[in-house]
Structure 1
Amino acid sequence: MNDDRESRKQALLRELGDIQSLLDDMESSAATKTGGALDSDQIRKLASERANPFLSPGATPPTPSPAPRPAQQLGSAEIDRIVDSLVEEALPKLEKALRLRLRDALRRKN
């Protein structure tokens, strides 16, 4: 049981490292672009390239069909709005997955 917990812990730490790497890649690519900023479609595309640790193995996340948008430079307020929107969209799914995993873990202990 401890080994399983440790392996899950290591998997989450690797995922956090991957997220940090993605953020670093986004910052470095944003600095080299002429516009200097990523729009929400680019952020979604980059995020969808990473594996989702909350989905069961073999499950594939739905692929959104982004509407084509002209390239534009985003202001700080727009970036905050996009991030808030993405987080607001993802939180209920993450919360549900976490609740299910916690319930399952507690049931296995009893």
Structure 2
Amino acid sequence: MASPTSLLKRLLVGRPFRSDRLQHTLLPKRIALPVFASDALSSVAYAPDEILLTLSIAGASAYFYSPWVALAVVVVMLTVVASYRQNVHAYPSGGGDYEVATVNLGAKAGVGWRAR
């Protein structure tokens, strides 16, 4: 008899995949982009708060720069999303840091990524 938590997990997540079939499973691009771009998004998520904190230390007059800082953050985020979209398009097999580094920078560059 399965436990209630495993039944709930099966209901929410679905049946597990067999290991030998996982390499043939590809995510559609509309799902893959937000899932894998979240890594970059989480890396810069704290930036606007920290920038505003720094501006507040400088004083109320520095808040004049807030809209420009927000615009710069939006430009950076659009650049990151565009970069991820290019990687998804250029490496339909999945890419990843290792493959991208190896193809573009050579085998020795790819080895450094693999060691992470």
Q: TM-score scaled to structure 1, two decimals?
A: 0.33
Q: TM-score scaled to structure 2, two decimals?
A: 0.32
Instruction: Report which of the two structures shows the higher radius of gyration computed on alpha carbons.
Output: 2
